[in-house]
Structure 1
Amino acid sequence: MGDFLLIVFIIFTIVASIIYAQQNYTGNTVMSCKGINGTGTTASFLYSCNGEKHSCRAFLIFRSHTPYNSVSSISKLLSSDPDEIVHINNISRSEFLDQNQELIVPVNCSCSGQYYRADTSYVIPSKYDTYFTIANNTYQGLSTCSALVHENIYNTLDLVLGLNLRVPLRCACPTRDQTRNGVKYLVTYLVTWGGNVSTISAQFSVSSQSTAYANGLSENSVLNPFTTILIPLPKEPSSFQTRTIKRAQTEIFYPSKHKISYISLFIGVGIGVSLAVLCFTLFIVLKHKKENERCEVLGKGREGKQNWNLPEHVLENIVGMDQMIKVYEFEELVAATENFSSRRRLSNYVYKGVLRGKLLAIKEMRTDIYKEVKFHAKINHFNLISLTGVCKHHQLSYLVFEFMENGSLKEWLFKDDNLEAQSWNCRICIALDIADGLDYIHNFTAPAYVHNNISSNRILLNRDLRAKISNFSLARSADCEGKTSSSMKFAEGRNGYLAPEYLQTGQVTPKIDIYAFGIVLLEIITGKGAVFEQDGKELLLSETVLGIMDEQSKIQELTDTRLEVKHPLGYIIQQTDLVLRLVKLCVACLVTEPERRPSAAEIISTLIKIQSDVQN
């Protein structure tokens, strides 16, 4: 009997590994907004994290439709680089696309929890929008209704004009077996009427067997329109593989009822439950084993015990986990920066240069880069700066980042003749971007992280004034909460951003980021630095604002004068209510007790409500 059970277990393990080695196509269940629990429902939710890599470069096929019929509008909708879209699709940045023209959109696909995702955000433009229409019409099935419900704090009936929603997009990385068979990329493709495995595979010049395996299908399986499948490719897709769909795809498809064999259903459920128990057990064991290792490694980076002078092959292994991070030759950096000339210098150790046809920022590092590179290999969010490459040369290392045209938030706030700085709405959008980035690292990475160095210098602005958090050299795992070291205490002195618990005990939790965010928001409101001079004295912005909270007139006086709104007759329109609401949010972030400070998600909710009332 024992031998029989052992054989059954071995067979089950083999079957389970085959099932887990692919993303199972679940048909019309992706159309449902119901039936999710705390983690979603497998492939009906997003694609499972069963690939060989934690993150990778992936591609989405998006079909242009009004108002998303230009590179600019589509790149913003999907949080993708417009220059990459232009290059890979061989189109002009300014041209308007034909209706239902297929466009290849590159994204960073990363594992967050149990699921792969590429993150973007969506501001609701119509009172008629629902989670269902956003997922299936706006995003064309590249997200799902259940994923949107799970991702956002708003009830379906609470969706109103102006709300900023988090949108996880369906993407995946190749499994180990696929990689061995030459698959380097997966494309998320929306099935249309009459679509089948053979015709879709032929469009991308791949075998039907390969596509069927990637989706847990047979070559003759029936595909439902308005659902997605994954196309495995040995190289990046090209514009020759896209087409224009003649039939409009705006009609919403409602799932039909299919007869299912009860025997198949019971077998499927039995295997699924057994596999879930097995995976959960392994997850607990591995998590327990790795938790201390992760905290130990992160702690070493802070204490300076870890050797940052990494051998070249180790560096290759680190960045090899993410095909979006390249290894550059030092000679390339020299040529791009004109031998690191002063003309190319952006700040003390940061230069700009064109690398392989793209304008990027190159940062010279004299400290350990291991932890920062590993961190960037795990994250994928529009409001976090993207690390595109690394280089090591003798005792120095270099990190190559996306280029941010408008520099730091601090520079932007104090720049002369800055017309955009006169807009309340622009400043609130920047604050929302920062809060979105913090919410992601606090709640949607595995493990959760603390930035530990938030300031207006660490917030960078792109050409569209979208904010991205940078400089993760001091980031540490929130799983190591409470595990502090004396070397962390009083690390940067009295710089105006440090939470009281950090100054007193070196305690590092997500709440120290919230405290620092409160200071940055005060800078956005007042146009003053965290530490500023007044009447020859050096003052802390936080203490100054907290000291006048009971005097509304003084709070209004402290507001950046560039934000004054003038009536056509010439007098200044007082905006006391708006200023007070924002300042109260700052004060909530600055309370002494960390547990009383709001979460990043609560900050986002508050800012969205304030933003909806801003007319300027």
Structure 2
Amino acid sequence: MSQVSKLMNATADDIAEANNVTSSFTSVMGPAMLIPVRQPPQLPPLRYAASAGDGKSRSRRRGIIIGLGISGSLVALAAVCVAILAHRRYRKKASVRLGSRFVSPKLSWDKNQYGLERSNSFAHMIKGGDNKLLTGVSQFIDKPIIFVEEEIMKATTNLDERCRIGSSYYRAKLDGEVFAVKPAKGDLSAELRMMQMVNHANLIKLAGVSIGADGDYAFLVYELAEKGSLDKWLYQKPPSALPSSSCTVAATLSWVQRLSIALDVANGLLYLHEHTQPSMVHGDIRARNILLTADLRAKISGFSLAKPATTDAAATSSDVFAFGLLLLELLSGRRAMEARIGSEIGMLWREIRAVLEAGDKREAKLMKWMDPALGSEYQVDAALSVAGMARACTEEDAARRPKMAEVVFSLSVLAQPLSVADAFEKLWQPSSEDNIRIAGSVAAR
């Protein structure tokens, strides 16, 4: 009772008097009692137990808040992805504008003419290009690149002569890599077709192209052949046109190097004639179109006159004739045709016939005719064999010229150590027509 009276601000006597109770309150058990209150009671704050319904409500609110947060994050992430995609597409259009303006009709050809599906055309591949990398332009190129014309002009100091490599190429450092660039002239469709169809170690690799402001091709960009073109090594001693950074070899080509170059070119032609579908004719084999790598391996370039061979077996004979002239230039260090004193025109293929038909004096005449820069480092019998091979290649009757397979076989033997080559050196020495036929039959085996 004392606790109740304290809470209600009433005395125990007042409560007893109001309820007519005279006995002790501790023993009273019964109905409710009246409590007189003179001042507001001092009741403690009410305490409520948490109900199950309240817990569910709070959990529901928490779930809503978490869901809204996750949804907002996903929306923000999607917005970022859309922005990145739009930025990439903008950069693609800005860096390489690949539309009808950049696709020359000269690059369209039919399957009937070249045996190629239209879907493999260079123009089609450019339309489907990805940024600067146009994957699949040809079987030969892993990642063909569209270069900016201004970058090439800057890299070559506006085609400065100090950047020239050989007769037609310029040295250019693009994106940290050094290339050989060739100014585009005339119709490039044949050259680009060839790059689609060929893949050989002795053929130069096309790395990409450059498109000018007029939408036509400005440059072809090739792998770098550090030592330049063969003509600078044969006709100029030392090869002054080569950049100083790459001119660290002897001033002339040795006999072994010349044989190696001849074999490389022959292998490249053999591939074109017999291992492409359809067979191809290069059409412009000459010293300036033979490029030399750092280790003086030869690569054929200059495919502007290339074309498919016809069904005629002699269709590739023009390349064989040109290769014969190249052999003569390697032997003599002179051009196949050049002006002499007065109005005389020197023709090496005629001169070599006179040398080889000199009977017992042919060795002496050949040594006098050979490039004096070679000195005495070659064997006369080997030189006679190569000279006989060159004469056979330059026969006036195209049907009598050897196939490149025969030439490759013979040069491969001559390039072997002397103990192996000795037995074959005289195969191409044309002492009689029988020797030439024997050489051809041995090579065929």
If the TM-score is normalised by the length of the shorter chain, which range does it land in?
0.5 to 0.7
Letter in 1 for 2:332: T
Q: Residues 446 and 295 of structure 1: is their aligned pair in 2 closer, same or farther, counting only changes over 3 Å?
A: closer
Deviation string, structure 1 residues 373-409 (Cα, Å, up to 9, x no partner):
2211221111001110101111442100111121111
Match of 1:373 in 2: 192
Structure 2 residues without counterparts, runs of 5 or longer: 1-109, 239-248, 422-445
Question: Is the 1:438–1:600 Cα contact (8 Å) retained in structure 2?
Answer: yes
Q: Residues 320 and 608 of structure 1: is their aligned pair in 2 closer, same or farther, counting only changes over 3 Å?
A: closer
Pairing 1:531–2:341 present: no
Pairing 1:407–2:263 present: no
Pairing 1:336–2:336 present: no
Distance in 1 between the 2:167 and 2:334 partners?
A: 23
Question: Is the 1:530–1:542 Cα contact (8 Å) retained in structure 2?
Answer: yes
Distance in 2 between the 1:431 and 1:363 partners?
A: 24
Tell which deviates more after alignment, 335-344 or 575-584: 335-344
Pairing 1:460–2:281 present: no
C-alpha deviation, 1:613, in angstroms: 4.7
Distance in 2 between the 1:410 and 1:446 partners?
A: 31
Q: How does 1:170-181 map to 2 (within 5 A)?
A: none
Q: How does 1:83-122 map to 2 (within 5 A)?
A: none
Pairing 1:437–2:257 present: no
Pairing 1:354–2:168 present: no
Distance in 2 between the 1:466 and 1:384 partners?
A: 11
Letter in 1 for 2:380: T
Match of 2:352 in 1: 545
Letter in 2 for 1:452: G
Pairing 1:517–2:323 present: yes
Deviation string, structure 1 residues 43-78 (Cα, Å, up to 9, x no partner):
xxxxxxxxxxxxxxxxxxxxxxxxxxxxxxxxxxxx
Distance in 2 between the 1:423 and 1:534 partners?
A: 26
Match of 2:304 in 1: 473
Distance in 2 between the 1:591 and 1:350 partners?
A: 32
Distance in 1 between the 2:253 and 2:286 partners?
A: 21
Pairing 1:585–2:405 present: no
Q: 1:292 aligns with which of 99, 105, 112?
A: 112
| Secondary structure class of the residue paired with 1:436 | helix
Structure 1 residues without counterparts, runs of 5 or longer: 1-289, 298-307, 483-506, 567-573
Deviation string, structure 1 residues 199-223 (Cα, Å, up to 9, x no partner):
xxxxxxxxxxxxxxxxxxxxxxxxx
Distance in 1 between the 2:318 and 2:124 partners?
A: 35
| Secondary structure class of the residue paired with 2:356 | coil
Tell which deviates more after alignment, 527-536 or 335-344: 335-344
Q: Residues 550 and 340 of structure 1: is their aligned pair in 2 closer, same or farther, counting only changes over 3 Å?
A: closer
Letter in 2 for 1:522: L
Question: Is the 1:421–1:427 Cα contact (8 Å) retained in structure 2?
Answer: no
Pairing 1:561–2:372 present: yes
C-alpha deviation, 1:351, in angstroms: 2.1
Deviation string, structure 1 residues 194-248 (Cα, Å, up to 9, x no partner):
xxxxxxxxxxxxxxxxxxxxxxxxxxxxxxxxxxxxxxxxxxxxxxxxxxxxxxx
Distance in 2 between the 1:349 and 1:431 partners?
A: 21
Distance in 1 between the 2:365 and 2:166 partners?
A: 36
Distance in 2 between the 1:451 and 1:312 partners?
A: 24
Distance in 2 between the 1:447 and 1:368 partners?
A: 21
Q: Residues 379 and 546 of structure 1: is their aligned pair in 2 closer, same or farther, counting only changes over 3 Å?
A: same
Distance in 2 between the 1:589 and 1:471 partners?
A: 21
| Secondary structure class of the residue paired with 1:468 | strand
Q: Residues 374 and 315 of structure 1: is their aligned pair in 2 closer, same or farther, counting only changes over 3 Å?
A: farther
C-alpha deviation, 1:320, in angstroms: 4.2
Q: How does 1:32-71 map to 2 (within 5 A)?
A: none
Q: 2:402 aligns with which of 598, 604, 614?
A: 598
Question: Is the 2:267–2:408 Cα contact (8 Å) retained in structure 1?
Answer: yes
Match of 2:182 in 1: 363
Deviation string, structure 1 residues 398-423 (Cα, Å, up to 9, x no partner):
10011112111111113325736352
Q: How does 1:248-267 map to 2 (within 5 A)?
A: none
Question: Is the 2:234–2:330 Cα contact (8 Å) retained in structure 1?
Answer: yes
Question: Is the 1:459–1:469 Cα contact (8 Å) retained in structure 2?
Answer: yes
Q: Residues 607 and 345 of structure 1: is their aligned pair in 2 closer, same or farther, counting only changes over 3 Å?
A: closer
C-alpha deviation, 1:371, in angstroms: 2.6
Distance in 2 between the 1:508 and 1:314 partners?
A: 39
Match of 1:100 in 2: none
TM-score (norm 2): 0.58
Pairing 1:612–2:443 present: no
TM-score (norm 1): 0.42
Q: Residues 423 and 312 of structure 1: is their aligned pair in 2 closer, same or farther, counting only changes over 3 Å?
A: closer
Distance in 2 between the 1:564 and 1:383 partners?
A: 29
RMSD, aligned α-carbons:
3.2
Question: Is the 1:531–1:541 Cα contact (8 Å) retained in structure 2?
Answer: yes
Question: Is the 1:312–1:392 Cα contact (8 Å) retained in structure 2?
Answer: no
C-alpha deviation, 1:562, in angstroms: 1.9
| Secondary structure class of the residue paired with 2:172 | strand
Q: Which has the higher strand share?
A: 1
C-alpha deviation, 1:594, in angstroms: 1.8
C-alpha deviation, 1:527, in angstroms: 1.0
| Secondary structure class of the residue paired with 2:154 | helix
Question: Is the 1:546–1:587 Cα contact (8 Å) retained in structure 2?
Answer: yes
Distance in 1 between the 2:253 and 2:190 partners?
A: 39
| Secondary structure class of the residue paired with 2:220 | strand
Tell which deviates more after alignment, 347-356 or 421-430: 347-356
Q: Which has the higher helix share?
A: 2
Q: Which stretches of structure 1, 4 residues or more, deviate above 6 A after TM superposition?
A: none
Distance in 2 between the 1:315 and 1:345 partners?
A: 34
C-alpha deviation, 1:559, in angstroms: 0.9
Distance in 1 between the 2:311 and 2:339 partners?
A: 35
Deviation string, structure 1 residues 526-551 (Cα, Å, up to 9, x no partner):
11111134444321111111123222
Q: Residues 508 and 608 of structure 1: is their aligned pair in 2 closer, same or farther, counting only changes over 3 Å?
A: closer
**Percent of pairs identical after alignment?**
32
Q: Residues 436 and 596 of structure 1: is their aligned pair in 2 closer, same or farther, counting only changes over 3 Å?
A: same
Q: 1:416 aligns with which of 214, 220, 237?
A: 237
Q: Residues 599 and 356 of structure 1: is their aligned pair in 2 closer, same or farther, counting only changes over 3 Å?
A: same
The total of aligned residue pairs comes to 285
Q: Residues 378 and 296 of structure 1: is their aligned pair in 2 closer, same or farther, counting only changes over 3 Å?
A: closer
Q: Residues 516 and 329 of structure 1: is their aligned pair in 2 closer, same or farther, counting only changes over 3 Å?
A: same
Distance in 2 between the 1:315 and 1:334 partners?
A: 27
